Amino acid sequence: MKNIVLIGMPGTGKSTVGVILAKRLGFDYIDTDILISQKEKRTLPQIIAEDGIEEFLRTEGCAGLSVECESTVIATGGSMIFSPDAMNHLAKNGITIWLETPLNELETRYARNSRHDRGVAAPESMTIADIYAIRKPLYEKYATITIHCEENTEGVVQQVRDAIEGLL
């Protein structure tokens, strides 16, 4: 059975939605950020600070390429879309869903939680709006389905379930 691959900006809820969605579908769950942290034995912010953004992106792409599964909800890191090979690999046996969160909501979420704590792969000088502007065309490119995340988590999970009905 196909996988569900969640893409979107950091802080959009991929991990939270992914866990609940996996439970509801009876699927397994993988978070590529956790795969990276476990393999590297460091947090994402540590990897970015110590190795640099480009090396982190290479590591993230390798994590995406390493995923071999089915009937799994896969929450990707927000910058996975910078690895075409990884995105194409994940899409081979998956439905790619962009959890699109309005920019003003992302800015509110980032105000509560430091960008540094999340391990966002972008120069510190870039605003959330700058990061979103660069990434949005790539999310659009890779998304099979776009879910506009304007509801609470339960509402987003239901939107995803409705959107994938009949596609698995």
CA–CA separation, 51 and 129 (whole Å): 25
pLDDT of 166 reads: 83
Whether residue 113 has pLDDT greater than 60: no
CB atoms within 10 A of CB 60: 26
pLDDT of 75 reads: 98
pLDDT of 168 reads: 73
pLDDT of 60 reads: 97
pLDDT of 124 reads: 83
CA 15 to chain centre: 8
Give per-residue pLDDT as tens, 146-156. 999 988 999 99
Domains of the chain: 3-164 (3.40.50.300)
pLDDT of 156 reads: 96
Give per-residue pLDDT as tens, 55-93. 999 999 999 999 999 999 999 999 999 999 999 999 999
- Reported as a pLDDT band with limits 50, 70 and 90, residue 130 is very high
- Reported as a pLDDT band with limits 50, 70 and 90, residue 111 is low
pLDDT of 110 reads: 74
Q: Are the beta carbons of 36 and 63 closer than 8 angstroms?
A: yes
Handedness of CA 39, 63, 132, 124 (dihedral sign): positive
- Reported as a pLDDT band with limits 50, 70 and 90, residue 117 is low
Whether residue 123 has pLDDT greater than 90: no
CA–CA separation, 34 and 102 (whole Å): 25
What's the mean per-residue pLDDT of the chain?
Answer: 92
Burial pattern 84-110, b for ≥16 Cβ within 10 A else e, equals eebbebbbebbbbbbbbbebeebeebb
